[in-house]
Amino acid sequence: MTTSGSVLAWIESRKAELTALSDRIWEYAEVGLQEHRSARELEAFARAQGFSVESGVAGMPSAFVASWGQGAPVLAFLGEYDALPGVSQKRSPQREPVQPGAPGHGCGHNLLGVAALAAACALQERMRAEGLPGTVRYYGCPAEETLVGKVFMVRDGLFSDVDVALDWHPTALNAVRNHSTTALNSAKFTFFGRTSHAAGDPQNGRSALDAVELMNIGANYLREHTIEKARLHYVITDGGGEPNVVPGRAQVWYYVRAPERDQVEDIYQRLLNIARGACLMTDTSFEPEFLSGCYNYLPNQALNSVLQQHMEAVGPNQWTEAELEFARRLAESFPKGQKEAGLKAMKAPPEVFDQLIHASILPYRDEETSGGGSTDVGDVSWVTPTGRFGVACGVLGQPGHSWQVAAASGMSIGHRGMLMAAKVLASAGLDLMTDAAKIQKAREEWQQRTREHPYRSPLPEGLQPPLHQLPSH
């Protein structure tokens, strides 16, 4: 394992600057495909360290690639910086929105993007000082929450020459897990009927909202006849205007998830048939709009081993009394039993249950597991070997995509988790860049796993990023 003191020292020496950058992105709290200020901040930091930056890649104004060096090996660090709607929160352990209904960093992506960039810069500095060969890249990936950014970047070939990619995510545990995610389709279904007076002449109306509701009923019955780990969820994005007008237009937005890509495609076709049936029952028509799709994440044990070594070498954070008090007050907002149930689901060891914030490194387990969530990191993992891990940046028991996560992501608990993650990424990256055998082992494993099922983009030919679908807040 290559001595990594200099990359760790670089991160330690810049921690105030990195924390300030993370806080600015936390304050911007921009949702997917609207992260213009966040992307420009990260680009500016990369340029200041000597990276060349290509902005607006893959048809997305807030996507970019920052590169330094030349030739092989090519190592990619993955960055995200999109926020979530509706979880605006002050740096407070009680529910206090900065602006009610506004977005907030309820998944900690302000930490995620900065840590990955810090690692890329620290590694670049070491390579430049020692004249090491290779290329370091930072991928500025927008709209992870809606599974858009990386899928379009992969489709456009931006990862075609990458040897390995490294990723991390803020979580409640310090762990490298041999863990997969679900594949997904995201699509909107717009129904068209005919307006009329809902009381005066309802017989002349054809309700698009009725079609939406009947589609949802059919989808809910479909759940009984899908595989156990499949997931269907939806929101009605347009249900009409006023009750006295039969809605002539209505829309519902669906996510379809399953452990494997072909399973998603099968369930999605059945969902299309349910939409057709709803039209027959209501004498309406519909148009499906495929927004995005993604693959399940493909773990790589060779890279997991490297990451585990370096996570143990960096070591866990030890928390101050002030941070533990913040965590205790934040935990008071959790329903009874939530923490225990979550830790059991993650198979956390007994000693973790009494902690407020995780303060150790979990041992690595070879057993491959899977969960219900999805990430567009999955598509990257199907075109190049990808390693990822989690670092404690919040309170044990916190729900995902919550105001509690947003609160911790804007203060010292999140900051210190971010810096720990940057050190793990940078030292693991240096190890890989200076040990060709480790990259080769990771690629051989990846080739073995993808040989029978080569990657095929889930995006329909010609589909462009859904910039027109930007949410309003």
User: Domain boundary residue among 279, 294, 309?
Assistant: 294
Segment 53-64 mean pLDDT: 98
User: Domain boundary residue among 250, 273, 294?
Assistant: 294
124/236 same-domain check: no
| Model pLDDT for residues 211-239, shown as the tens digit of each residue | 999 999 999 999 999 999 999 999 999 99
> Smallest Cα–Cα separation from 27: which of 103, 78, 93?
103
171/196 same-domain check: no
337/433 same-domain check: yes
Q: Which two tokens mark 97?
A: 């929105």
Q: Poorest-confidence range of 27-36, 187-196, 236-245, 365-374? A: 365-374
- Residue 4 pLDDT exceeds 90: no
Amino acid identity of 78? Answer: L
Q: How confident is the model at residue 108 (pLDDT cuts 50, 70, 90)?
A: very high
Distance CA 463, CA 454 (A): 21
> Smallest Cα–Cα separation from 375: which of 452, 455, 450, 292?
292
| Model pLDDT for residues 167-185, shown as the tens digit of each residue | 999 999 999 999 999 999 9
Cα angle 307, 20, 104 (rounded to 5 degrees) comes to 80
Q: Are 63 and 142 in contact (CB under 8 A)?
A: yes
**Can you give the residue range of the structural domain that contains 212?**
183-294
157/206 same-domain check: no
175/196 same-domain check: no
Distance CA 53, CA 254 (A): 35
Distance CA 286, CA 272 (A): 10
Strand partners, 168: 389
Distance CA 403, CA 98 (A): 11
271/315 same-domain check: no
Strand partners, 253: 188, 235
Q: Are 396 and 355 in contact (CB under 8 A)?
A: yes
Report yes or no on 461 lying in a domain.
no
167/197 same-domain check: no
Cα angle 22, 23, 25 (rounded to 5 degrees) comes to 65
| Domains identified in the chain, total number | 2
Report yes or no on 467 lying in a domain.
no
Distance CA 150, CA 343 (A): 30
CB-based contacts of 361: which residues, under 8 Å, 6+ apart?
Answer: 174, 175, 311, 312, 315, 316
| Model pLDDT for residues 311-358, shown as the tens digit of each residue | 999 999 999 999 999 999 999 999 999 999 989 888 888 889 999 999
pLDDT of residue 147: 96
Report yes or no on 416 lying in a domain.
yes
Q: How confident is the model at residue 469 (pLDDT cuts 50, 70, 90)?
A: low
Report yes or no on 99 lying in a domain.
yes
- Residue 446 pLDDT exceeds 60: yes
Q: How confident is the model at residue 2 (pLDDT cuts 50, 70, 90)?
A: low
9/114 same-domain check: yes
Distance CA 388, CA 299 (A): 8
Q: What is the mean pLDDT of the chain?
A: 96
Cβ burial 54-69 (10 Å sphere, 16+ → b, else e): eeebbebbbbbbbbbb
Distance CA 175, CA 389 (A): 6
Q: Poorest-confidence range of 249-253, 370-374, 382-386? A: 370-374
Q: How confident is the model at residue 470 (pLDDT cuts 50, 70, 90)?
A: low
> Coil, strand, or helix at residue 238?
strand
Among left, alpha and beta (phi > 0; psi -120 to 50; other), residue 317 is beta
Percent of the chain with pLDDT over 70: 99
238/371 same-domain check: no
- Provide φ and ψ at 134, rounded to 5°: 125, 175
266/281 same-domain check: yes
- Residue 472 pLDDT exceeds 60: no
225/371 same-domain check: no
The DSSP H or E segment spanning 308 is helix 301-314
Among left, alpha and beta (phi > 0; psi -120 to 50; other), residue 249 is beta
pLDDT of residue 468: 79
Report yes or no on 459 lying in a domain.
no
Report yes or no on 466 lying in a domain.
no
- Residue 194 pLDDT exceeds 60: yes
Sheet strands (E) in 295-378: 369-370
| Model pLDDT for residues 264-308, shown as the tens digit of each residue | 999 999 999 999 999 999 999 999 999 999 999 999 999 999 999
Report yes or no on 74 lying in a domain.
yes
The DSSP H or E segment spanning 236 is strand 231-238
- Residue 473 pLDDT exceeds 60: no
| Model pLDDT for residues 127-148, shown as the tens digit of each residue | 999 999 999 999 999 999 999 9
pLDDT of residue 172: 95
- Domain containing 276 — which CATH number? 3.30.70.360
CB-based contacts of 345: which residues, under 8 Å, 6+ apart?
Answer: none
Report yes or no on 471 lying in a domain.
no
User: Domain boundary residue among 228, 259, 294?
Assistant: 294
Strand partners, 388: 167
54/174 same-domain check: yes
Cβ burial 86-102 (10 Å sphere, 16+ → b, else e): bbbbbbbbeeebbeeeb
Segment 116-132 mean pLDDT: 97
pTM (two decimals)? 0.96
- Residue 391 pLDDT exceeds 60: yes
Distance CA 417, CA 424 (A): 11
Q: How confident is the model at residue 442 (pLDDT cuts 50, 70, 90)?
A: very high
- Domain containing 53 — which CATH number? 3.40.630.10
- Residue 413 pLDDT exceeds 70: yes
Distance CA 257, CA 271 (A): 12
